[in-house]
Structure 1
Amino acid sequence: MTHPPAYDDAHPYLRAASAGVRHHTRALAPSDSNPPQPATRRHLDVLHAHLAALLPLLDQLGETTRPPHPAAGRHLAAAHTRLWQATSEVHAAFHLLPGSTTEGAEASACQPERLPEGPPVLTICQRHLAAGHVVRRKTTPSGLRPHTTVCAR
């Protein structure tokens, strides 16, 4: 008979990812030797990847929690929607950072071939569209309002 892992041993990879985010947040905190720096496209790309990786985890937790605990499942579903909205806003911010070749609404359109560093193997836009496809299969359009994505491929 196996016993469940102790609290400190449970979900070690998720705990490590959380520790990494906390460390990064402290490293970015302004100090005398570290003046505040604006976000870069690379930074937002990595943050978007982290948020997009959390989406399926939160979705799975919501799906398995809802039958025995409906109220908690609804809260997890709402958190999933809010996480998707945060992921979308990080994606939009990525396209508005310096380096875009156009201004205004066109600058926020997904055009990986126009990225200054060239189109990576898996662009932020491809990742965002893949995550959006999964989110839209499980979420009603009214549940995603007021956000709409500008990705069109």
Structure 2
Amino acid sequence: MATTTTDTSDAHPYLRAATAGIRHHTRALTPSTRTDRRHLDNLHEHLTRLHLLLDQLADAVRPEHPAAGRHLATAHLRLWQAATSLHDAFHTLPTAPACTLDRLPDGPLVLTICQRHLASGHAIRRKTTPADHGPA
């Protein structure tokens, strides 16, 4: 039986840092913490980037380990569903004063999250929808 050792010094430092950041924010949330659009936007960005990472991992694993690739593809789909739900929740929250154009240097959050969501959706459809090869 082979054992696998993981060298955490250089495995995936950015992913570990992002996970630590989420862990920190999760612990910092209290029942009185108000959820606003900026929180949902940040979480949506994290999920869409994780979604792209899983897509790359599934592509890399699938040729040698098809079963593992299928599991990663399922996780990929579930993350997309979670990102879609976050996008929907974002739009159901009332607009906060911080969401006004003059207070956001990058523009309104509604455009940022929608553009990101549309770009991710386009990438998914392009990859998962069979191409029309025209008449045979």
Normalising by structure 1, we get a TM-score of 0.70
Match of 2:54 in 1: 58
How much identity, in percent, do the aligned residues show?
A: 64
121, 128, 132: which one pairs with 2:121? Answer: 132
Structure with greater contact order relative to length (CA < 8 Å, sep ≥ 6): 2
CA deviation vs aligned residue, 1:59-95 (integer Å, no higher than 9, x gap): 0000010010000000000100100000000000000
- 2:79 is matched by which residue type in structure 1? L
RMSD of aligned residue pairs (Cα, Å)? 2.3
Q: Distance in 2 between matches of 1:6 and 1:37?
A: 37
CA deviation vs aligned residue, 1:27-84 (integer Å, no higher than 9, x gap): 00x3xxxx43241001101111111111111000000100100000000001001000
Match of 2:100 in 1: 117
Shift of 1:140: 4.7
CA deviation vs aligned residue, 1:81-138 (integer Å, no higher than 9, x gap): 10000000000000000129xxxxxxxxxxxxxx942343861100100011001122
Question: What runs of 5+ residues in structure 2 fail to find an aligned partner?
Answer: 1-5, 102-106, 131-136
Q: Distance in 2 between matches of 1:62 and 1:22?
A: 25
Higher helix share: 2
Match of 2:27 in 1: 26
Question: What runs of 5+ residues in structure 1 fail to find an aligned partner?
Answer: 101-114, 142-153
CA contact (8 A) 2:99 2:108 kept: no
Q: How many aligned positions are there? A: 118
- 1:56 is matched by which residue type in structure 2? L
